[in-house]
Structure 1
Amino acid sequence: MSHKRSFVRRTAAVVAAGAAAFVLAACGGDGNGDGSAGHGGHNATASPSASASASQGQHNAADVAFAKGMIPHHRQAVEMAGLAPGRAQSAEVKKLAADIKKAQDPEIRTLSGWLTSWGEEVPAEGAMDHSVHGMGGMMTDEEMTELENASGKAFDTAFMELMIKHHEGAVEMAKTEQADGAHGPATKLAGEIITSQSAEIERMNELLGKD
């Protein structure tokens, strides 16, 4: 009897131990499985999507288009402004041209730096190619030649009329960047362009009204 009880106890102990081992193994398996799915599997899917989001957050196609369009646009404004010291009659026009050059030269460097860091090509110097003519108030070769040949009051009037159109184009491009861009510094620069160039448009309209 005692032998039988002892046997039953031993059997129960073995069964209990086996059950415990089974539960532990199952838990361990589940834990590892969760770990793999959570850290390996989950992280494997979460990490790339997180990196993709981070990368999209850094910049997108709209940011690239903004930088590539604004660089030649700014370069032309700087070129136009460079004509003023020797041709303008009005001191106010000369100051306006100096302000434009002072603001836009550093912005060209900033925009070029972004494109380089994104692995994009910076528009070549003098890239006033046909793809950018007519874009965002860009002047044609003929308009640029007329401005170069003008002087005195005629230059002042032509410069301001053309620069108003030019600035309006830049403001529109900047508004598109604000709406569609993802790169924080680029959308911030777009806001600064809208503010400064809108103020210059107003100033030039006032100057033209005085003439």
Structure 2
Amino acid sequence: MRPAAAGTRPSGPTREELPMVRHAAVRAAGSAAGMALTALALVSCDSGSDGAEGTRADRSGPPVVAPGRPGEANKTLSPREAAKARPENEPNTADVAYVRNMIHHHRQALAMTDLAADRARARGVRSIADRIAHTQGPEVGAMRAWLKRHGQPQEAEGGHDHTAMPGMATPEQLAALRKARGAAFDKLFLKLMITHHEGAVTMATDVSTKGNDVTVEEMASDVIATQSAEIGRMRRL
């Protein structure tokens, strides 16, 4: 090894400086390790504030917007809250009873609309009768299919007094409607059908709070929206 020229400082640390260099290196390494531990501690505190498992679940995806029931505002839920709030979607007795009863309720409305073709005088009455028939006919098919899909019989055991359902016309009222013609038919038809629709809205509103099946809730919401609009239209005739 060549000796350093006079007046020239060696490129590396001198023997006397080595302990100081080692101390500085150790201190720097310790400082870096301390900073890393501090960062980890901060992350740990942040993730552990609500429990590690809960935080991982909360951050596993974006927030979920849960639609409210009719008349209620939507809610923003975390993924974990959305999982807990998810309905079982198993039909309960209220769902099954509603579907069975509404099938019969619709059938009476369809029987009333059948009379309008050759008895109604006003074009508006014939038009609303056609509208009701084209809406409720397919709805009956959808409700029958729902019962079949869930293994439910079309009729309840022991039968049911369907005339006791909200808005149902009595046999005497139906007989009077069959005999009526012209303006008399129009007046009685509108009176009975408005009452009939109001009964359907009552039934649909009831199952919206007591039922559990999402499909039934959607069908009930359609009944409320459609028949409420038709009530307004019939009152203007």
Give the alignment's TM-score, normalised by structure 2.
0.60
1:60 to 92, 101, 104: 92
In 1, the alpha carbon distance for the partners of 2:160 and 2:96 equals 19
Deviation at 1:130, TM superposition (A): 6.6
1:1-211 superposed matches below 5 A: 57-123=89-155, 131-207=161-237
Deviation at 1:179, TM superposition (A): 0.9
Unaligned runs of 5+ in 1: 1-53
Letter in 2 for 1:60: N
Letter in 1 for 2:168: M
Q: What is residue 9 of structure 1 aligned with on the other side?
A: none
Letter in 1 for 2:136: Q
In 2, the alpha carbon distance for the partners of 1:108 and 1:84 equals 20
Partner-residue secondary structure (3-state), 2:163:
coil
Deviation at 1:58, TM superposition (A): 2.8
Partner-residue secondary structure (3-state), 2:176:
helix
Deviation at 1:121, TM superposition (A): 1.4
Letter in 1 for 2:192: L
In 1, the alpha carbon distance for the partners of 2:208 and 2:128 equals 26
Moved more, 109-118 or 65-74: 109-118
Deviation at 1:86, TM superposition (A): 0.5
In 2, the alpha carbon distance for the partners of 1:175 and 1:165 equals 15
Q: Percent identity?
A: 41
Q: CA RMSD in A?
A: 1.8
Unaligned runs of 5+ in 2: 1-85
Give the alignment's TM-score, normalised by structure 1.
0.68
Deviation at 1:56, TM superposition (A): 5.0
Q: What is residue 40 of structure 2 aligned with on the other side?
A: none
- How many residues are matched? 150
Partner-residue secondary structure (3-state), 1:84:
helix
Letter in 2 for 1:115: L
Partner-residue secondary structure (3-state), 1:77:
helix
Q: What is residue 16 of structure 1 aligned with on the other side?
A: none
CA contact (8 A) 2:87 2:212 kept: no
Q: What is residue 41 of structure 2 aligned with on the other side?
A: none
Partner-residue secondary structure (3-state), 1:139:
coil
Partner-residue secondary structure (3-state), 2:112:
helix
Q: What is residue 21 of structure 2 aligned with on the other side?
A: none
Deviation at 1:55, TM superposition (A): 9.8
**Structure 1: 4+ residue segments shifted above 4 A:** none
Deviation at 1:89, TM superposition (A): 0.1
Bigger proportion of residues as helix: 1
CA contact (8 A) 1:134 1:140 kept: no
